[in-house]
Structure 1
Amino acid sequence: MTDTNSPWTYNVLCGLCATGFYCTGAGLFQMTVLPSFILLVGGSNFDVGFAEGLQGLTNLIFALPVGYIADKWSRRACIRIGASLSLLSGACLLLAVLLATADNSTAFAILCAALGLQGICDGIMNGPLVALMDDSCPAGRRSDVETMNAVVYEAASSVGPLVGLVVFLYSGNTWSLSSMKLVIALGVLICQLAIFPCFFMDDRRALGECSEAVHLQERLVGDSGGARELVERNQRASCFGLITVGRVRLVLFLNEVILCLGAGMTVKFFPVFFKQEGHINPALLQAVFASLSALTVVSTLISARISKCAGRLQVIIPCYAVGITCTILLGLLRPYYTVPGVMLPVFLLRCSSMWGAFPLLGSVIADYTPKAQRGRWKALGSITAMGWSGSAAVGGALIDHFGYGITFAITGCLQSLALPTMCSLMPLVAKESELLAAADRTCADDSTSHASEISMQDV
């Protein structure tokens, strides 16, 4: 008998394939090579921040109206438009790579145009694409999808640095312009393969009410003990009544903004930091990021397993606390910057602990986002991408004036502001075991009724 509560639906599988192709290509250059390439072509850390910030700005401008259109019109159409525009972005980036020389203003301008176009593509695709995946997964199983998506993301991302490692070793293991050009060009071509599964995603293959927000699934709640616990949670409030279950999504969005504002100030500069302050060669840096992906996969799987018993927020909060502490340590351990045995483990622990908990946070966000508003909320979440990329300009300016240490410490202090608000949500956010126990019926009837609606639309 088919598992009618299975999260592995058509749109989810297409989304996972798109993630795999895109991350394999992007892993080749975005985190490791692109910042150094922009620094060489542009000439300063501010240029790195400006180019990355431009990507976030265009994302913000286009994401909000597109998210509204996706909710009111068609997620599929928005995804296909974004996939088509990504071809133009890739062509511009390849042209910039072809023309690039040290301090080349023309190549830098084209590179900025390519990143700006990529921001538009992200704004058009990411909101509707992720919203359609959420629409196609039943509540209570979203951490499985988010975990698998993260595993695919990290596994594919680790392939990129490994290929980059081989390319760098073949070309002399130096940060030469020719080596970086080859790595970026190969990565861009692989990224374009993600377009094909994106074109196959379809609104009509989404689920019905069983994929709705947790607090809105009244007809799926029965009389079991789990259902009573869920009803009780939905009636609770925290922070003197200011935070209710209907406001969980808003609080989570504010947390996203805080975390990404801090991350954008530092994460994009980690490769440059290890190159300039740690004097790490290209092959070792590629190996570090490849191992980081493997560690993040392990951290993701362990976090997901523990969350099934302890609860998702109960795992997320300690993981983020560890990561924030490590970020501050990266700033305070200046005497050890040239000691890889000290700095690299702190860096790996910082990233693997925070990134390993991110899929759980994503599943909580999806469970408390109303279905009819998912495109808009995902688009609004692009403000966090603006925070991620836009704050890179601030981070670049801080690094140029004060150095990496102070900037990393500021980042950690800023991100720590998100921890108290996460703690305030613990009484309200349901465990997935409670959601599954509360299901009075499977998704079979729900999917059947939704399918009949689709067939009527096709008549």
Structure 2
Amino acid sequence: MFGTATWSQLNANVALILVFNLLWSATRTLWETGNISALIFLLEDRHKSYVGFAASVEGITQLVVAIPGGMLADRWRRDTVLRLAACLSVASLLFTAYAVHACDLTLVYMAMAAWGASYALNDAPMEALFADSTPTGLRADIFVAKFVLMQVGRGIGSAVIALLFLVFGDVWEIHELQQVLYVGLALTVIPAVMQAFVSDDRSLNAESEATLSAGSVPLLSAGTKGHSNIVDPPRLDRWVVTFVPATLAISDLMTALGAGATVKFFPLFFIEEFDMKPVEIGVIFAITPFACSLSSLGSAWVARRFGRINAIIIAHMTGTVLLVVFAACTTVTLAVFVFILRAATMNSFKPLKRSVLMDIIPKKSRGTWNSLESVTIFSWTGSAAIGGIVVDQWGYRTCFLATAALYAISCLPIMALSYWNLDRHLDISKPAAADPIAEP
């Protein structure tokens, strides 16, 4: 998966962060993905809007904390901010356990706010340090590997959920949910503490600095008739370095607006539309991340053939069409199949997009740029509140179709980026020099 790299050659930070993401995804899945939403759903007499409000509380806090946290990570040491995140994560775990025990919705909202601050302090410096510790030429493959491990973690966590419900009782009741949540919160202590052990001193120097053409996977495919469509340093001006990340950020923002309105409600859709039991939903969400892992490897292959930008467009539009199909499904078998296929396709291009950004953004600005993703996360959680209201008023399927429309719109900036690279910015009147990176 790493090409010429092996596990023994990985930077110590990279290896630690890969393991962290595996465990973080697995343990958080046990309590956060679906189960905390189900608890809120039951506490508030099955009103979906309260689930969306909880996500909004988390997102607002993350927005407030993330940008200053990212700026601190660029100005100070990233590992110092991560140690603060580790302390806050452990405190959030303890408070969440108390809120779950008390079955108090106000306390649950406060716990979500604490987690928003914790995620904000973790995300920007962790991602920046991961990029700083990754050789630019291997970044695409290693980012795909990180994504795969995160998906494997989610799959493991969902499988454990299914087993726990078999033990505690395969019913949607508050007591059974509490037991599963306690187990998940206890296990999350391990990755929460791991954040404190990455170090700025182990990051790389010039070999991890930004350069658009140094990656092992081009942004675009090789041109026709002897021309190359790869943007190389001699033809790359400062405006390009600003334009590409901004374009991807706009696309991410619109995608998040759509995703936020639906993602929190998929488990509730299966519960209410198809009367699924906890174990059945656990199995679905255990299979889905492994499908996402396979699809990300497929997108990496497509990227090597046609370029990363084009691979992102293909996966994005395919996932959009599948969401429309999912909204029309009336049988449980077809709905489950399309749901897994849609999730796998829509998530497959995330590591490619991140690798593009980190190949372009200079090291000194990576913390700030990663913190700007919290604006995207805020839009995600803000639309979760709107999505809950839409579902209560017009149903799940209307909400899914609205999300599909936003997905389609969010792909337009990436299409414009592909067109701009091919036809406007590059001087394709001259054959490019032989490029060992470009596909033949």
User: Which TM-score band (shorter chain)?
Assistant: 0.7 to 0.9
**Cα-to-partner distance string for 1:29-48 (whole Å, 9 max, x where unaligned):** 32232211111123421111
TM-score norm. by structure 1 comes to 0.84
Evaluate the alpha carbon distance shift between residue 198 and residue 236 of structure 1 in structure 2; reply closer, same or farther with a 3 A threshold. Answer: closer
1:361 aligned to which of 348, 353, 360: 353
Alignment-derived partner of residue 250 in structure 1: 246
Query: Which residue identity lines up with residue 314 of structure 1 in the other structure?
Result: N
TM-score computed with the length of structure 2 as normaliser: 0.87
Contact kept? 1:234, 1:428, Cα under 8 Å? no
Aligned AA for 1:360?
Answer: L
Shift of 1:229: 6.7
Q: Which one-letter code corresponds to 1:94 in the other structure?
A: A
Distance 1:314 1:37 in 2: 41
Other-structure match for 1:305: 301
Q: Could you say what secondary structure the match of 2:136 adopts?
A: coil
Structure 1: 5+ residue runs without aligned partners?
101-106, 218-224, 439-459
User: Residues 280 and 246 from structure 1, CA distance in 2 versus in 1: closer, same or farther, beyond 3 angstroms?
Assistant: same
Aligned counterpart for 1:424 among listed residues 406, 416, 423: 416
Does the 8 A contact of 1:139 with 1:367 survive in 2? yes
Instruction: Please give the residue correspondences for 1:397-408 in structure 2 after superposition, counting only pairs within 5 Å.
Output: 397-408=389-400
3-state DSSP of counterpart to 1:400: helix
Matches of residues 182-193 of structure 1 in structure 2 within 5 Å? 182-193=179-190
2:321 matches 1:329:
no
CA 1:140–1:229 in 2, change beyond 3 Å: closer, same or farther?
farther
Deviation of the 1:175 alpha carbon: 0.7
Tell me, yes or no, if the aligned pair for 1:265 and 1:388 is still in contact at 8 Å: yes
Any idea what SS the aligned residue of 1:290 has? helix
Match of 1:176 among 166, 173, 176: 173
More displaced stretch, 380-389 vs 264-273? 380-389
The offset of 1:176, in angstroms, is: 1.4
Q: 3-state DSSP class of the match of 1:277? A: helix
Query: CA distance change for structure 1 residues 25 and 234 in 2, over 3 Å: closer, same or farther?
Result: farther
Please list, as runs of the form range in 1=range in 2, the aligned pairs for 1:54-453 lying within 5 A after superposition.
Answer: 54-100=57-103, 107-215=104-212, 230=230, 232=232, 235=235, 244-333=240-329, 336=330, 339-426=331-418, 428=421, 437=437
List runs of 5+ in structure 2 lacking aligned partners: 215-221, 423-433
- Show the counterpart of 1:39: 41
Distance verdict in 2 for CA 1:332–1:392, change over 3 Å = same
Partner Cα separation in structure 1 for residue 168 and residue 114 of structure 2: 30
Hey, what does 1:444 align to over in structure 2? none
Cα contact 1:213–1:369 (8 A) shared by 2: yes
Instruction: Tell me which residue corresponds to 2:431.
Output: none
Is the Cα–Cα contact under 8 Å of residues 31 and 271 in structure 1 kept in the other structure? no
Contact kept? 2:48, 2:392, Cα under 8 Å: yes
Letter paired with 2:259 = A
Q: Do 1:16 and 1:152's aligned partners in 2 also have CA atoms closer than 8 Å? A: yes
Taking the aligned partners of 1:116 and 1:349, their CA distance within structure 2 comes to 32
Q: CA deviation at 1:89?
A: 0.7
Distance 1:80 1:255 in 2: 32
What is the RMSD computed on CA atoms of the aligned residues?
2.7
* Distance in 1 (alpha carbons) for counterparts of 2:31 and 2:6: 38
What is the CA-CA distance between 1:132 and the residue it aligns to?
0.4
In the aligned structure 2, how far is the partner of 1:38 from the partner of 1:236? Answer: 51
